[in-house]
Amino acid sequence: MPTDYARRLLAVERTADGNAHLGWMLAFVAGATNAGGFLAVQQYTSHMTGMISAAADGLVLGQSQALITALGALLFFTTGAATTAVLVNMGRQRQAHSIFALPLLVEAAALLVFGLLGTWLAGLHALFVPATVSVLCFTMGLQNALITKVSRSEIRTTHVTGIVTDLGIEIGRALYGMGGTPVAVNTVKLRLLGGLLLAFAVGGVAGAWAFKAIGYAATLPLAGLLAFLGAVPALDDLGRLRAR
């Protein structure tokens, strides 16, 4: 049942399989959001390395708009991560079963707003790029902090630099082992990393195609997926409260 799968995916008691499946799903969402966001504003919003470089370039070249947009992106990504930490810690304090569901519901709401209001925002030229980048960076900060807390810093989903690095390390270990030196290759980690990379790439293709085909509404299915996943544990908690 889909509801049982959602409960397992966001259970308080974590398993390696649960972390992997959640990571793959969120990597797909991040890839789709990142690609769609680029088509909207010609900026990638899932990783902050480029934003820091853009801020530095804007400062040196005197491009105030680029500087403000990049600094705003950093601020909203950080705010998203902080929001996840607050929600998770509040849930733990109250011994809720939906502690990992709440950030997904907030992310779903943000993507829903972007999907519904994107066309309207596009008409406000002065606000369009900063507002769009801010919303998308906020959602990526939420998501990255969530999977970081869920997996105890083992999984990232909004950028692939670390994923490709770790994948290269494991491949290098395997190649070294082929020379006759016994080396234990972590096949579970290879499967996890390969899945994350593939999910992000497939999400990117799907997000770009969908945005090109239907515009801002392309984020609505992503919002619906996250809302469903988060709603199941949240409704379970509401049921427990009413039973008391």
- Per-residue pLDDT tens digits for 191-221: 999 999 999 999 999 999 999 999 888 999 9
pLDDT on residue 123: 67
Does the structure show a pLDDT above 70 at 15?
yes
Work out the percent of the chain whose per-residue pLDDT is above 70.
Answer: 94
Q: What confidence tens digit (pLDDT) does each residue in 126-156 have?
A: 666 778 888 899 999 999 999 998 988 888 8
Does the structure show a pLDDT above 90 at 46?
no
* This model's pTM is above 0.75: yes
pLDDT on residue 141: 93
d(CA 142, CA 118): 20
Residue of 53, 91, 83, 85 lying closest to 69 (CA atoms): 53
Domain coverage including residue 131: 2-243
Task: Count structural domains, the chain.
Answer: 1
Does the structure show a pLDDT above 70 at 180?
no
